[in-house]
């Protein structure tokens, strides 16, 4: 019986007032119980739904699932450590293992003095993947290597002057022609070339006549140097106290085209009557003959040339 019906019966005299109050109290109690029951059911349903999303009834979940499952914090950390170890192995494979890495006291990796042959070594930045193989070979085998043979010094001085207005690659391609034209750079033989022979050399080997004359005149001056100093080697290496200049350039654009040392050598050679020996040509010659080691410190040839300089 509802509250409205109870009040109506009481007004008609069909229900005592005390019974009406009792019925109304009972009705309110039933309503409260119903509301509370419905609320509890909703809460239980919500909890059941949340539980069902992550856990299944009757199954047990160990700590392994929380720490080892993909995407967990532990799994991500393991991936990071594995990546760091892989990177360290690559560095060691490229540079070699140093004492510091063996003792695990430092993560610094230093290159070996005699690294294993590398099919793709790091070279000076002026060499590119498109550089001519003859130029790459010259860089890897000769450039920066100390030279003490008079004939080779004469040859490198001639080639350094010949590449003015051209480039080293083109000059190196004609290196064999220069050797044939100038008697393997035997200075005493070159001084005896006649005007007719010089013209023939210029035509046959396509060498500018002014440069042919310059080589012959330089040969004459070299003979004079040998008489005064004993050898061309003693004269030239005397400018650097018979010890190669070792530089530590990190970037190619930092390598100068001339230095105060090349300027002083050039000035003395010009005074003695040499031709094609400007400061830039002389510095190029110094690099070629190993009087200075201008390989970048990142280049694979820097350390070997430094060792050759200390152990001639």
Return the structure tokens found at 169: 């690659």
pLDDT in tens, 293-304: 999 999 999 999
Tell me what pLDDT residue 226 has. Answer: 97
The answer to whether the pTM exceeds 0.75 is no
DSSP state of 293: E
129: Cα within 13 Å, side-chain hemisphere? 1
170: Cα within 13 Å, side-chain hemisphere? 9
Residue bearing tokens 């152990």: 311
Tell me what pLDDT residue 309 has. Answer: 78
Distance CA 6, CA 17 (A): 9
Q: Which of the listed CATH numbers 1.10.340.30, 1.10.10.10, 1.10.1060.10, 2.70.98.10 matches domain 133-309?
A: 1.10.340.30
Tell me what pLDDT residue 6 has. Answer: 52
Q: Which residues pair with 246 in a beta bridge?
A: 293
Tell me what pLDDT residue 83 has. Answer: 72
Average pLDDT, consecutive stretches of 10 residues, N- to C-terminus, the chain (312 residues): 52 51 55 54 53 48 52 68 68 47 38 48 88 93 94 97 89 96 97 96 95 97 97 97 92 91 97 96 96 94 87 64
Backbone angles phi, psi at 292, to 5 degrees: -140, 140
Per the annotation, where are the binding residues?
124, 139, 295, 299
Tell me what pLDDT residue 173 has. Answer: 95
C-beta separation of 124 from 295 below 8 A = yes
Tell me what pLDDT residue 167 has. Answer: 87
Tell me what pLDDT residue 30 has. Answer: 54
Per the annotation, where are the binding residues for Zn(2+)?
124, 139, 295, 299
């Amino acid at each position: 019986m509802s509250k409205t019906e109870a009040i109506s019966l009481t007004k008609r005299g069909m229900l005592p007032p005390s019974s009406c109050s009792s019925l109304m109290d009972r009705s309110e109690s039933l309503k409260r119980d119903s509301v509370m029951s419905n609320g509890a059911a909703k809460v239980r349903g919500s909890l059941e739904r949340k539980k069902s999303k992550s856990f299944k009834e009757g199954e047990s979940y160990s700590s392994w699932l929380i720490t080892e499952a993909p995407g967990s914090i532990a799994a991500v950390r393991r991936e990071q450590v594995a990546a760091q170890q892989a990177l360290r192995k690559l560095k060691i494979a490229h540079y070699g293992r140093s004492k510091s890495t063996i003792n695990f006291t430092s993560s610094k990796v230093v290159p070996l003095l005699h690294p294993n042959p590398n099919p793709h070594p790091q070279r000076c930045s002026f060499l590119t993947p498109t550089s001519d193989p003859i130029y790459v070979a010259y860089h890897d085998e000769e450039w920066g290597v100390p030279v003490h043979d008079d004939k080779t010094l004469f040859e490198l001085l001639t080639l350094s002057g010949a590449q003015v207005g051209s480039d080293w690659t083109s000059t190196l391609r004609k290196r064999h022609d220069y050797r044939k034209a100038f008697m393997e750079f035997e200075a005493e033989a070159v001084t005896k070339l006649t005007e007719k022979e010089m013209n023939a050399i210029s035509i046959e080997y396509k060498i500018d006549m002014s440069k042919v004359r310059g080589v012959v005149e330089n040969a004459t001056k070299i003979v004079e140097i040998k008489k005064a100093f004993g050898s061309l080697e003693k004269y030239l290496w005397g400018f650097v106290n018979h010890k190669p200049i070792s530089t530590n350039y990190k970037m190619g654009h930092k390598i100068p085209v001339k230095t105060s040392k090349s300027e002083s050598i050039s000035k003395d050679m010009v005074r003695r009557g040499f031709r094609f020996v400007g400061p830039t040509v002389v510095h190029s010659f110094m690099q070629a003959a190993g009087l200075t080691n201008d390989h970048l410190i990142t280049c694979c040839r820097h350390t070997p040339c430094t060792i050759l300089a200390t152990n001639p």
